[in-house]
Amino acid sequence: MGKNYPCIEINLNKITHNAKKIVNICSEIGIHVVGVTKVFCAERPIVESEIKGGVELVGDSRLENLIKMKDLKCRKMLLRIPMERNSAKVVKYSDISLNSEFRTIKALSRAAKKINKIHAVILMVDVGDLREGVLEKDVLNTVKEIITLPNIKLCGIGTNLTCYGGVIPDENNLGRLVKIKDMLKEQLNLNLPIISGGNSSSIYLALNKKMPEGINQLRIGEAIVLGRETAFGEHIEGCYSDCFILKGEIVEIKEKPSIPVGNIGMDAFGHVPHFDDKGIRKRAIVAMGRQDISVEGTFPIDKDITVLGGSSDHLILDVTDSKNSYNVGDVLEFNVDYGCLLQAMTSPYIKKYYIE
Ligand SMILES: *Cc1c(COP(=O)(O)O)cnc(C)c1O
């Protein structure tokens, strides 16, 4: 069967391997892994490969993706702070959600009561990144209110770092989360079972044995799918970084000058481009562009190829220095970063092929 291009080839065994590896690193220090599925739109074969690798709980930021997984046996977490008006769906399709607004938690309580379900809530605390979460000074009062609500079980506190403010998780900010749990035990005699210590940017603490004692859950997307921790962007030893390979077909290959001819205005995206004159170069155009991928996050596996740029539908490459002599119709392969993977998995124009 011939393949269609552009496509992304997904190696399920490698994903299972990575999941196993991350789950092992974490379980050694008492941490449970939530497998975060949003970057691959909760595509079933990938979710199942992560579960095969030992992930016990799956998490996604979008209800649509949780609905896709509704008949999966494992428990599901909604990662994005819920929209109040979606409360009924939130309690129906997720077992546990991350929250920071009492008003919304109250709506979840009403919705859960209606369908006679207990909905679990993790209260997000902002320990510095300025994305979601109540401020530390407001935790006690918010918790006092939450625990009065029917059909809501406050099961933990959590934080999210390195997402907006770029704050790196460390013993100080995650340590404060543990202190908050202790404070709640002392003040309210509450024993919260979960302290959710962040995303793939917290993995390096586990690798370096620096995770504050008490953190017992991480929500992991990128580290499993790309084998990378995200505090410093380091590869995680023993993980595959090529579970996903992007492939596109060359539709034009020509020798051209490296500076456009004519007066330079704005490109298709409103930027004025800059060019270095390297003389005549051999350029290839691959049939995929910004509607499918992130040009900046696309890395040719042939290291002698450089990405010059792209437009909505085209990726423009300099192949002059390659040891291969490419032709129209040849397929080029690329590694992807997180942003490109997100885009490629979300684009309906990129075919998805699974290999084992
Ligand atoms: C996306 C997301 C994660 C996972 O992030 P990675 O960097 O891919 O591990 C964890 N928690 C929340 C709240 C998220 O939105």
Q: Give, for all 356 residues of the chain, the pLDDT tens digit.
A: 568 999 999 999 999 999 999 999 999 999 999 999 999 999 999 999 999 999 999 999 999 999 999 999 999 999 999 999 999 999 999 999 999 999 999 999 999 999 999 999 999 999 887 888 999 999 999 999 999 999 999 999 999 988 777 889 999 999 999 999 999 999 999 999 999 999 999 999 999 999 999 999 999 999 999 999 999 999 999 999 999 999 999 999 999 998 888 888 888 788 888 888 889 999 999 999 999 999 999 999 999 999 999 999 999 999 999 999 999 999 999 999 999 999 999 999 999 999 98
Output the CA 36–ligand 1 centroid distance in Å.
6
In sequence order, which residues have a C-beta less than 8 Å from that of residue 154 and are 6 or more positions away?
120, 121, 122, 123, 143, 146, 147, 190, 192
Q: What SS3 class is residue 270?
A: coil
Print burial letters for 308-332: b (CB count within 10 Å at least 16), e (below 16): bbbeebbbbbbbbebeeebeeeeeb
Structure tokens at 43: 């595509």
pLDDT score recorded for residue 2: 63
Choose the residue to mutate in 15, 62, 163 for probing ligand 1, maximizing ligand atoms within 8 Å of C-beta: 163
CA gap 142, 353 in Å, rounded: 46
Choose the residue to mutate in 31, 34, 36, 174 for probing ligand 1, maximizing ligand atoms within 8 Å of C-beta: 36
pLDDT score recorded for residue 131: 82
CA gap 98, 159 in Å, rounded: 9
From 109, 95, 178, 192, select the one nearest 143 (Cα to Cα): 192
Structure tokens at 126: 């902002």
Nearest-atom number in ligand 1 for the CA of 225 is: 8
Q: Please state which architecture CATH assigns to domain 244-355.
A: Beta Barrel (2.40)
Q: Cβ < 6 Å from ligand 1: which residues?
A: 36, 38, 61, 79, 98, 160, 199-200, 219-223, 230
Output the CA 220–ligand 1 centroid distance in Å.
6
From 177, 196, 229, select the one nearest 25 (Cα to Cα): 229
CATH number belonging to domain 12-225: 3.20.20.10
Q: Is the pTM of this model over 0.85?
A: yes
Output the CA 38–ligand 1 centroid distance in Å.
8
pLDDT score recorded for residue 166: 81
Please state the domain extents for the chain.
12-225, 244-355
pLDDT score recorded for residue 345: 98
From 346, 354, 347, 349, select the one nearest 40 (Cα to Cα): 346
